Structure formats: structure tokens, C-alpha cells
Structure 1
């Protein structure tokens, strides 16, 4: 493990005003996205869509520090024969790769998930490094419900995250550790705070046990938000204050950056929450974004699978990237969305 190299990559991933584009939708997930625009999910259509995003030069160069790819995408070539990895690198962004095998039902624990994918991971990471990946992502799923999450679920998922992170660093790849507390439930913002605190505390204990170099890692967590079905939704300011309070107590200062997931929030709300946190800075770590749907929903809808819409779709992507760049700097304002 070359600690200096890992630290340099991690710092680039959280450069001022830049965040990460999550373009790592599985084949099943991207099909659901394409269904919304009545487009068949073929390999060429998936390639064309991602190529359109990666060729959005203004967005990529000014606001996107890295792109998380799916196994299919990291191997694909653009229509002109250029590898998609090369397009990302040309824009000054860092290629990354999703390496987990998905969240599966946890045996003996109804309604809980555990993420699989550790078997053969060392060899896969070696191949991904050769394909150009310099960071990776592994997502754990933590559901809130009656009597859950259990201690067993939290332990199993954070242990897997730590083992994944150690393997990444062994192979010169910066690990993004993503423990996502799911917001699709009726729980209060206070419950989200309690569960997220427990998960983060367990995560950093496990990372310590596995000798993970924190300065060469990035955290991708949920924000502290009310469950989607909770009748009382926390305000933007309350979300920002509770999120920062939780993370100040649970996340070591050695971590270079926290890149939040949007987790089903609307585009603008995800931006507003990020901005509110950064307006309360400076913080002990960089606070930025690693958004998938919150960056892609607008360009996907605008594109609609039609070549004649590419320029308009790229403009929609560039707008969302610009808004989140401002939020990462604490300089966003809702009035800018109208422009």
C-alpha cells in the first residue's frame, strides 16, 4: 500500500467545488431509468447515454472530480472507439468502479440486508486497476423498521466494508465506504440520527481493526433526514445541523472528505441540504456530493434516447453539476435554479 498515492487520489476526489458522479447503475437499475423514457435498455443505448454525460465538457471539467462506473461501463468504448475511461480522464476526472455484488437478504434477519462480493475481490481489483480505476465503491444497506437494524446487521455490513476497504488499498485503489441508512420508511429524523450514529461508530471501529488508512479513504453516507413516510419532515436547516452534529461526533478528522448520497431526495433538495451544511463551515473534512439520480434525472428526461436532444440534455446535466458545485462551496441560492 502506497499511502502517499492513496492520499493524493483521495484529495483530488474532494477538490474544492467538485463532487462525484455516480454512474454505476446495474443493468437492472438502468433499465428502470430507461423505462421512464420508454427506451430499450440495450448495451449501445446504455453506452450512448453515459458517453453523452462524459462528453459534457463544461460539467465534467468544472464540477466532477470522479465517476463511479459499473463493470460493463468500465470496459466500453464510445461510438468513435475511444474508451469511456479515456473520456473521463480527458475531462480531468478520475475513473472509479462499483465492486460490490449487491445487497442480499440477510439469513435469520427478516427485512435486513447484507452486501455480498468479497469472494474474488482481490483479483477483480487488480483487473480494475489495469482498466484505469483509481477508486472503488461498496454500498451497505441499513433499513430502519420495527426492531431493526439489529446489531448483527450493522456488524456484518461494517465488517464487509472494512475488509473491502483494506483490499482496495492493498491494490492502490481508494475505497469509498458507503453505509446507507435507507430513508424509505415512516421514521423520524431523530431515529435516523440514532441509527446513523450507531452505523458510523461501528464502521470506524471495523476500519481501525482492518488497518485501513483513513487518509486514503472517502465516506459516502446518507444525510440525517426524516423518513419519506414521516408526517413531519425536517427543515433544510435542521437536516444540515443534525447531520453535522452526528458526523462531528462519529467521523474521524483523518478522513479527507464526506461525499453525500442523495438517497431519493429531489434534485434541488439534495443541493439545498449540501449547501446549508457548507454555509456552516469550514469543517474538519471536505463536504461534497456523490449523486446519481440527483445529477442524472434532468438530463435523462431531456435526452429521451434521441440524438437530436443530446446538446439540451448536456445543458441540463451541466446546470445540475453547476448547482452542486456552488453547494459544495456553500455559495448556492435557490434563485439560481430559475436561471
Structure 2
């Protein structure tokens, strides 16, 4: 199988009706922060046990087509000794890998940040591919403030995403391109729309310059939302209309799937927003799906609480959350479904 065939096969497995992506690629500091409220200590073994719990959830492959792994996880095994990447493959779920190395301040653009990790990326991808990874993910972040993001920040981050995506495709790895516009702050829905539009324009210009084949990538953007401190919250209908407006203006039809990040939204809110988009807008050129982390895992963590005896309840919580998001892919989620067993 040549590289183009590999990329096409991976995209076909990742982009399926009624399915989305589970983001389980939390860094060590982030997963420690997730574990703390439920009383679980973050050690290599507890992280392995928790992620093994996620990936062995019966029926998970009905609604999840891919999982983004942290580097540590790709080398770990389930309780029976099966590599976790293989556990996913047995559920017809594509294993992927987070490959960026975290963000630092961007020189010359106070308030903006840039992500590291391009050095040695091709070599790392070959290792990850040998361990079973078939796609990768790279995240750039954009804070909204009085002066941010700057044009320098927008352009520099777009360049990093495009360079990463080009390297991935050369290695036969499908890139997930994640430009995350943060919801921190008091900005309005309209201001967020304008920033998202500028960011996505820059990203796709950079992808074109670097000859990234759009048919063999997945976009993981933010929804258009007012800031957390804004006095007025947006309805799912307002979020859907603003988000789809930006996507229509910026994302070429060749992109097969747009898998939203949840970006701090609660589980029900993230699901409702996605479902409303799919209910209100038909005939769009791309699939509208999910690539949620906390919005899928929050109920799981609460049910698990670091206790192996709670494994079945935690897996049921994940299955239920994945099922509801699977319905959202068809625009069929209703809030009252949250009360169903």
C-alpha cells in the first residue's frame, strides 16, 4: 500500500456516519488536574488503568472511530497485556497520537503563544506508526484580548500547523489540524466569529502553501462562542449559526470532516451545540463531528473516582456520552436524553 492509499484508508476509517473522536491525550500536568477533583493520584499505573478502562469499554466502537493518545499511553498495555493501540484496533477504532510539545510565548507578540515540537517530528512519527498510530494531532492556541491574537500570532501559528501537517502526510499519517480559539475572557459572540474567521483563513492559506492534501486531513476547530466572562450566554442556535457561517467562509469543500473540540464546554452543552448544527444545516460539504476530551470524560472520571470497583459504572458513563454524541452527528440529540439510563 502506497502512502496515498494509507492516508485514504485512514480517513475512511476515521470519518464515519454517527461516529467521532475521543481525545485522551492529556499531558501529565493536565491529567493530574483532571484526577485531583475525584481523589485519584496521577501515577503511571493509574493513568494506564484509567485509559485502559476507557478503551476497553464494550461497544465503544459503535460511536467512536478514533482516539488521540498521549505518547506514554501508546507504549502501555491493558490488564491482559494487550498493547492499548491494539485494544482500540480490535474495536475498529483508529489509534492516533498527540505530537506537539506544548506552547511557549511567541517572541514579538505579547499575549500570543506558539507550539513547539517540529524538530525530529518525522522520526518520531515513524516510531509512533510502528506502535500502531495512524493519525496525529497538533494544537495551536489563540487567546482573545484587546490586542490578541496579533496578525503575527495568527500567521506564525498557521505556519506551524501547516508544516506539521505536511510532515505527517509525507509519513503516511493523517494530520488533525487543531487551531483552538480560547473561550477565556469577556469577548462577544461576534468578536469570536471575527477571530475564528481570521484564524481559519490563515490556516488554509498556509496549508495550501505547504501543499497539504486537504482530502487527507481533519480539521479540529473551536465552536464560535462568547467568552466565559461575557454577561450573555449564546443559545445552541446562535452558536450553530455563527459557527457554520465561519466554516462556510473559510473551509474548502475538500476537507472531509470537521471534528469540533469542546474547549471547556460542559458535556451536555457541547453535545447540544453539535446536534443543533447538524439539525439546522444540511447539505454541507464536510461532516460535522466531535473530538471531545473533557466533554466525553467528565462523567467517566466522576463515576470512576480512581476506584477499580467502579470500572463498569465508568464504562457505562462513557458509552452513554459517546452514544449521545453519536446522535448529535445526525442532529437527533435532545436534552431530555440526559436523564435516560
Deviations 1:14-51 (A, max 9, x none): 20000000000001111111111111111010000000
Structure 1 Cα separation of the partners of residues 4 and 195 of structure 2: 32
Counterpart Cα distance in 2 of 1:282 and 1:336: 26
Q: How does 1:271-282 map to 2 (within 5 A)?
A: 271-279=271-279, 280-282=281-283
Aligned to 2:165: 165
Alignment TM-score, normalising by the size of structure 2: 0.98
- Deviation for aligned residue 1:109: 2.0
2:243 and 2:196 mapped to 1: Cα distance? Answer: 9
Superposed counterparts of 1:1-80, under 5 Å: 2-58=3-59, 60-80=60-80
Partner residue, 2:192:
192
Deviation at 1:108, TM superposition (A): 2.5
Q: What's 2:82 paired with?
A: 82
2:293 alignment partner in structure 1: 292
CA distance in 2, matches of 1:164, 1:221: 16
RMSD after superposition? 0.9
Mapped contact 1:18–1:62 kept (Cα < 8 A): yes
Report how many residues are paired: 338
Name the TM-score, length of structure 1 as normaliser.
0.98
Task: Give the secondary-structure state (helix, strand or coil) at the position aligned to 1:44.
Answer: helix
1:62-106 per-residue CA deviation (whole Å, 9 max, x = no partner) reads 100000000100011112211001110001100000000011111
CA distance in 2, matches of 1:61, 1:132: 17
Between 5-14 and 217-226, the greater mean CA deviation after superposition: 5-14
Match of 1:140, SS state, is: strand
Q: Distance in 2 between matches of 1:277 and 1:62?
A: 22
- The runs of 5 or more residues in structure 2 that have no matched partner are none
Q: For residues 301-316 of structure 1, what are the structure 2 equivalents within 5 Å? A: 301-316=302-317
* Displacement after TM superposition at 1:4 (Å): 3.3
Question: Where does residue 323 of structure 1 map in the other structure?
Answer: 324
Matching residue of 1:121? 121
Report the counterpart of residue 131 of structure 2 in structure 1: 131
Q: What does the per-residue CA deviation read over 1:304-337, in whole Å, with 9 as the maximum and x for residues that have no partner?
A: 1111111011111111000000001111111111
Contact kept? 1:104, 1:115, Cα under 8 Å? yes
Cα deviation, residue 7, structure 1: 2.4
CA distance in 1, matches of 2:282, 2:298: 29
Matches within 5 A, 1:161-240: 161-240=161-240
Counterpart for residue 338 of structure 2: 337
Residues 165 and 212, structure 1, Cα contact 8 Å, conserved in 2: yes
- Cα distance between partner residues in 2 of 1:227 and 1:172: 38
> How much does 1:290 deviate?
0.1
Which region of structure 1 is more displaced relative to structure 2, 144-153 or 104-113? 104-113
Question: In structure 2, how many angstroms separate the alpha carbons of the residues matched to 1:142 and 1:64?
Answer: 28
SS of 2:248 mapped into structure 1: helix
| Cα distance in 2 for residues equivalent to 1:23 and 1:227 | 25
1:107 CA displacement? 1.6
Task: Tell me how far apart the structure 1 counterparts of residues 194 and 9 of structure 2 sit (CA, whole Å).
Answer: 33
Whether the 8 Å contact between 1:3 and 1:213 is mirrored in structure 2 is no
Q: Which runs of 4+ in 1 moved over 4 A?
A: none
Q: Give the structure 2 partner of residue 270 of structure 1.
A: 270
Q: Conserved in 1, the CA contact under 8 Å of 2:19 and 2:63?
A: yes
1:221–1:259 contact (8 Å) kept in structure 2? yes
Q: Secondary structure of the residue that 2:38 maps to in structure 1? A: coil
With 322-331 and 3-12 compared, the bigger mean Cα shift is at: 3-12
